[in-house]
């Protein structure tokens, strides 16, 4: 059985027994889904949170390193540093700390062009992973029996985080070149 397009849209837009559609001039109806349907019909693709440029289903072109702000690089660095000082390399159990860390990243990403948002998120994630990996290796060089989650003497962490070398080396590694280097 073939169901015509108008029948499908009638079902999508129906609300308490009456049909509501997008007006032909682009204005929205009273239907709470009208904005999402309008965006879909216009070709604008958003993720489930309504952020354009973050929809990655069926794509892999977003997995590339792009330049992100020095402030964001520093934010990631400070987040990794806190994970090691406070939680022995784990993310911790504080929901408010976790949310504050990611809220700042999400706010930053929303300031970028839609086409760069997914890649910026990928870049920040890769930087976080590289930093954590390097710190993890440095700790294990000094304390071979250490495992993630165990406390780390602050003297060791102070030595690891003593200057910006850790951050610069991590940036260079993920970028494969010098274009992401921070201006210090």
Residue 6: what pLDDT? 47
Asked if 150 and 88 count as a contact pair (C-beta separation under 8 A), the reply is: yes
Does 178 or 55 have the greater pLDDT score? 55
Residue 129, pLDDT > 90, answer: yes
pLDDT in tens, 5-50: 444 444 444 444 444 444 445 554 566 666 656 655 655 555 544 5
- pLDDT at residue 50, rounded to an integer: 52
pLDDT confidence of residue 97: 85
* 95 has a pLDDT exceeding 90: no
- Say which range, 51-60, 68-77, 156-165, has the weakest mean pLDDT: 51-60
Q: Give Cβ neighbours of residue 98 (< 8 Å, ≥ 6 apart).
A: 91, 92
Q: Is the pTM of this model over 0.85?
A: no
Question: Is there a contact between 58 and 122 (Cβ–Cβ < 8 Å)?
Answer: no
Mean pLDDT, residues 51-60 taken together: 61
- Distance from C-alpha of 159 to C-alpha of 83, rounded to nearest angstrom: 16
Rounded average pLDDT over 89-98: 84
Task: State the chain's mean pLDDT as an integer.
Answer: 78
As to burial, measured by CB atoms within 10 angstroms (0-12 exposed, 13-18 middle, 19+ buried), residue 155 is exposed
| Beta-ladder partners of 14 | 19
């Amino acid at each position: 059985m073939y169901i015509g397009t108008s029948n499908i849209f009638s079902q999508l837009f129906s609300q308490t027994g009456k049909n509501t559609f997008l007006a032909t001039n682009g204005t929205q109806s009273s239907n709470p889904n009208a904005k999402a349907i309008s965006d879909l019909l216009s070709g604008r693709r958003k993720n489930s949170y309504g952020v354009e440029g973050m929809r990655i289903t069926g794509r892999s072109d977003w997995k590339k390193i792009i330049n992100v702000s020095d402030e964001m690089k520093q934010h990631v660095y400070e987040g990794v540093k806190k994970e090691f000082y406070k939680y022995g390399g784990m993310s911790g159990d504080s929901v408010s700390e976790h949310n504050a860390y990611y809220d700042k990243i999400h706010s930053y990403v929303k300031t970028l062009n839609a086409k760069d948002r997914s890649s910026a998120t990928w870049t920040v994630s890769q930087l976080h992973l590289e930093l954590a990996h390097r710190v993890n290796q440095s700790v294990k060089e000094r304390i071979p029996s250490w495992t993630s989650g165990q406390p780390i003497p602050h003297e060791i962490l102070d030595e690891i985080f003593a200057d910006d070398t850790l951050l610069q080396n991590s940036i260079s590694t993920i970028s494969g070149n010098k274009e992401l280097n921070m201006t210090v």
